[in-house]
Structure 1
């Protein structure tokens, strides 16, 4: 009789553990997957669906890896020192994570310690994505890099084109000894050089030589006329004196 009584008491104390080994996930309501953008805040909450259970403690952790916060009841709770600047308490046993970073992505678990049913655990996944502004910055940076590469390429092409043009211009220029030979030709002959610049230079030299020659001839004729006039004047003066 005593053994049966002892066995009954043992089963009564083990009833919460047997209940926990059943459908635990059906007793905790969670949002499942949560998405948030970087530098924002997000609140994580779990709700116990067992209405007649007495909650004695609620723990938040990164799924049995690191403890984040502990609720002794709704009015009394503590945040672990490593998360005091990152996490704050929220209503209904929840927690709020501030200034999210991409490395905050991961699994978060809540554990409800109840009487007389034992421990219920809920699980959710938080995904933190980059902000659209940061994505736009990376896109603009990529466009700038592409623009710089194209600009350098066009500058190189333009420089090569200028160098080739200079070389072609140097090839067209006529050497000085060719110009001297052309300038020594007679004025009546036509220029047979294919280069218009050479012909023009030769014609200019010939025109200058002709002008100088004409000027010299005019000067010689004028001087000769002056000498004759002076001699005639002297002859008339002598005749007048003799009479």
Structure 2
């Protein structure tokens, strides 16, 4: 019986078919062995520090890392043997942490934009990455008109109530002075309205009902607390009517 050996051409084709998938697998494995990873997007408040990273995912020797704005403006170069070299304007603003990451110490408006990193490695050659740095704009909260009106009205009412209490306290302390000045006793001594004037201390102008249809207007001075002096009746107007409004006098 005659033995038939395989054709050499057929053997070569089989070898090529078996080799191509292996080479393809080796190529893909080598391509995925190292790649650059970045945060892609970073948002920072003005004035805050921010760290930019361009890390190598895989085994490789990093020889040099170059950081640029993607529009071509240089930021810094870091060489494993020679250290960091900063572009003018960044020297006092950057802190280098590792070969592939650095920190901007204070975020400014003109720092926002795209940053490109370029890693010179062995054995993979040059690898590149990119990230975007965004400035977070803080918008102050403006209170609604209803809240604003309520706060204003509340403040006015608080001042009015406080002023009324002070006016009553003033009357309690100056009634005797008013009677001595008017040379008569008052059956009633009730405050109806008042106004005040800030001087070296405070002058209170108080409309007081003293009985019947009679009113008096008082000008009472309250010294500053540091003066440690009592209230003093400065002026008194008698025989006033109800319709006469109190004012400065």
TM-score (norm 2): 0.42
Structure having the higher strand fraction is 2
Greater fraction of residues in helix: 1
- Asked which structure has the greater CA Rg, the reply is 1
Higher relative contact order (CA 8 A, sep 6+): 1
